[in-house]
């Protein structure tokens, strides 16, 4: 069959073009790395850490219901645990991020992280009176500053969406040179007891890009 070889060559060329197109599609997840507060774990990082390798396990619904609702709403909020940021805020955090949407950076990225705003019994990290924060910067963006807030005594994260009026600023850091990890040490809880939210703002240095993290904690 004289035309068989040209047909096989044509099919091979089509296959190669198709494969090339597949591998030029941008990948989601940690491939486009940025960063997050990893200790005490932010809400979406904690859900990824506990369930990323077992996210279809129905036991999550009973064992970790807030992560369950988050995975059901948008799994990419956890696969992209390092992408919870907003561009072009210009330092006007309270003007740009509405009350009730602090944990999703004002429902950034088309609302991908909106489940982070949902009140409920999020898993908490136990902290003592003095504690540290560890922030991972996978892309070495650097930091113009990092601000750390804690909710006021009496705020209930299980029933109320987080608002600016619930927060007290306890630390604003100076600049950090680009690195993989930034430590904010010697933070003090004051007279707070029980369940709280530690809210962290990381202003990256490479452009006008700001990250917002809600970490649920219990002060013991």
Q: How confident is the model at residue 33 (pLDDT cuts 50, 70, 90)?
A: confident
The answer to whether 205 and 175 have CB atoms below 8 angstroms apart is: yes
Give the residue, 26 or 216, on which the prediction is more confident: 216
Judged against a pLDDT cut of 50, whether residue 34 lies above it is answered with yes
CATH architecture for segment(s) 37-219: Distorted Sandwich (2.70)
pLDDT tens per residue, range 96-152? 999 999 999 999 999 999 999 999 999 999 999 999 999 999 999 999 999 999 999
Report, as an integer, the average pLDDT of 184-212.
Answer: 97
The proportion of the chain whose per-residue pLDDT surpasses 90, expressed as a percent, equals 85
81: left (phi over 0), alpha (psi -120 to 50) or beta: alpha
The residue ranges of every structural domain in the chain are 37-219
Rounded distance, CA 162 to CA 149, Å?
12
The answer to whether 50 and 42 have CB atoms below 8 angstroms apart is: no
Q: How confident is the model at residue 24 (pLDDT cuts 50, 70, 90)?
A: very low
Confidence (pTM): 0.85
The answer to whether 84 and 107 have CB atoms below 8 angstroms apart is: no
The sign one gets for the Cα dihedral 46, 28, 75, 117 is: positive
The sign one gets for the Cα dihedral 47, 52, 54, 55 is: positive
């Amino acid at each position: 069959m004289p035309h068989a070889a040209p047909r096989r060559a044509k099919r091979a060329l089509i296959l190669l073009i198709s494969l090339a197109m597949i591998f030029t599609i941008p990948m989601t997840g940690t491939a486009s790395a940025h960063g997050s507060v990893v200790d005490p774990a932010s809400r979406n990082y904690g859900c990824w850490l506990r369930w990323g390798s077992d996210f279809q396990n129905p036991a999550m619904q009973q064992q970790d219901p807030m992560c369950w609702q988050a995975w059901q709403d948008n799994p990419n909020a956890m696969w992209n645990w390092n992408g919870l940021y907003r561009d072009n805020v210009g330092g006007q955090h309270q003007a740009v991020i509405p009350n009730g949407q602090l944990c999703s950076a004002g429902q950034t990225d088309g609302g991908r992280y909106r489940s982070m705003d949902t009140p409920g019994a999020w898993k908490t990290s136990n902290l003592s009176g003095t504690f540290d924060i560890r922030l991972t910067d996978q892309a070495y963006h650097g930091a113009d500053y990092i601000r750390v807030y804690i909710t006021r005594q009496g705020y209930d994260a299980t029933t109320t969406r987080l608002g600016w009026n619930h927060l007290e600023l306890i630390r604003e850091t100076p600049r950090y040179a680009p690195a993989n990890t930034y430590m904010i040490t010697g933070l003090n809880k004051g007279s707070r007891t029980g369940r709280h939210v530690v809210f962290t703002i990381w202003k990256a240095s490479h452009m006008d890009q700001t990250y917002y993290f809600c970490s649920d904690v219990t002060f013991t």
